[in-house]
Structure 1
Amino acid sequence: MIAVFVNCGAVIAGSVIGLFFARRITEEMSSHIQTAAGIVTVILGIQMAMQYHNIVYMTLSLIAGGIIGCLCDIDGKILKLGNFLQRLCFHGKEKTSSEDDGNSRNFAYAFLNASVLFCVGAMSIVGSFKAGVEKDYSIIFTK
């Protein structure tokens, strides 16, 4: 249960820090941070994949999950929800047309990325299972 609170607290703290420092982080620095996080995720994924005796189940699960996600258009629906939330949150704000298009797109894609990362990402799902079943909080804390 503690993993849930730590995860929520980390998401909220990271969001606040991101909002506070967003203007100070350059594209190059953002790229380095994302690359480092990606490398850690790949290493964790490879390490966990090597623990399984039958890799076929994992492969079939990944393929089936990709096909089902594509057929259900999950990312498209999350993007539509992000557009709806953007209209809801910034309804009364006056902007020029070009500004509005860029900000609307950025908000919706940021919502999509945050949803995938924090809600349905592999580390979220596997980490939650391991925390609940095995009392191993290492993955969820790493996320």
Structure 2
Amino acid sequence: MLGTIYNVIAIIVGALLGVILRKGIPEGHKKTIMQGIGLSVMVIGLSGALKTENILLMVFSIVIGGVIGEALCIEKRLDGVGDWLESKVGQRGGSVAKAFVTTSLIYCVGAMAIVGALESGLTGNHQTLYAKSLIDGVSSIIFASTLGIGVIFSAVPVFLYQGFIATTAGLIEPLLTNAVINEMSAIGGLLIVGIAFNILEIKKIHVGNLLPAIFIPIFYAILQPYMVQISSVVQNLF
């Protein structure tokens, strides 16, 4: 958990600095900066998504993950938490709900969040999360300077998400092959592209409802040894 704790502290400190800087940035500059951030986020997402070695698994994961996410109403619940935070902070803090949801997703679905948390849990190596902490700290300054205080609350889901992966990694270690981790990271990259669409206001993508897709490759790895048998049974039935 040490790497995750560093990550959380970096986000909080960066967000506080961003809020202080926010007052001195004209509104026109904030809009342009957010557009630049959106383009950068899209490039980051594409670079990760294109690393997939099994495009059919990616599509399958997105479909199944979307069905699960819609059933669980993940996006609605995230928005609800954001709205609740906004009611407590008030409009003076900017669009708290938007800042909270956007940055929570960005900090959680990236490859470094997944791989770094797994490394922390399996080997005690926190270097990836240390690097992520630096990146998230700097980006939280930028996000908070444009979106407001809501960014600071994204530290909570980061702690819960990465902490959960780190503490449970040992239980699923046999399934975490390089191929599985690669596909999980690639799907995370694709979701980051969706976040970029939201930031750029091109199209509203319910990224929160697609979050379960990241973990579908694990279940695919469990079922893969039985795929031939299942296929044989299906062929015999028809």
Give the TM-score band, short-chain normalised.
0.5 to 0.7
Structure 1 residues not aligned, in runs of 5+ = 91-99
Distance 2:74 2:27 in 1: 28
Q: Report the number of matched residues.
A: 128
Distance 2:19 2:45 in 1: 29
Q: Which residue of 2 aligns with 1:64?
A: 64
**Contact conserved, 1:83 with 1:104, CA < 8 A, in 2?**
no
Relative to structure 1, the CA distance from residue 104 to residue 80 in structure 2 (aligned partners, 3 Å threshold; closer, same or farther) is farther
Q: Does 1:109 align with 2:98?
A: yes
Distance 1:105 1:13 in 2: 18
Task: Provide the aligned C-alpha RMSD in A.
Answer: 3.2
> 58-67 vs 11-20, which deviates more?
58-67
SS in structure 2 at match of 1:25: coil
Residue 105 of structure 1 and its aligned partner are, at CA, apart by 8.8
Higher helix share: 2
Q: Which residue of 1 aligns with 2:144?
A: none
Paired-residue identity, %? 22
Q: Deviations over 1:28-49 (max 9, x none)?
A: 3223332333333322322223
| TM-score (ref. length: structure 1) | 0.64
Q: Which residue of 2 aligns with 1:140?
A: 132
Distance 1:77 1:114 in 2: 15
Distance 1:40 1:129 in 2: 20
**Contact conserved, 1:3 with 1:128, CA < 8 A, in 2?**
no
Distance 1:86 1:45 in 2: 28
> 103-112 vs 44-53, which deviates more?
103-112
Q: Deviations over 1:14-66 (max 9, x none)?
A: 21012212222233322333233333332232222332221121222223333
SS in structure 1 at match of 2:9: helix
Structure 2 residues not aligned, in runs of 5+ = 120-124, 137-238
Relative to structure 1, the CA distance from residue 25 to residue 9 in structure 2 (aligned partners, 3 Å threshold; closer, same or farther) is same
Residue 79 of structure 1 and its aligned partner are, at CA, apart by 2.4
Distance 1:105 1:62 in 2: 32
Relative to structure 1, the CA distance from residue 103 to residue 66 in structure 2 (aligned partners, 3 Å threshold; closer, same or farther) is farther
Which one of the candidate residues 99, 119, 122 is aligned to 2:109?
122
Q: Which residue of 2 aligns with 1:95?
A: none
Q: Which residue of 2 aligns with 1:47?
A: 47
Which has the higher Rg, Structure 1 or Structure 2? 2
| TM-score (ref. length: structure 2) | 0.43
Distance 2:13 2:76 in 1: 27
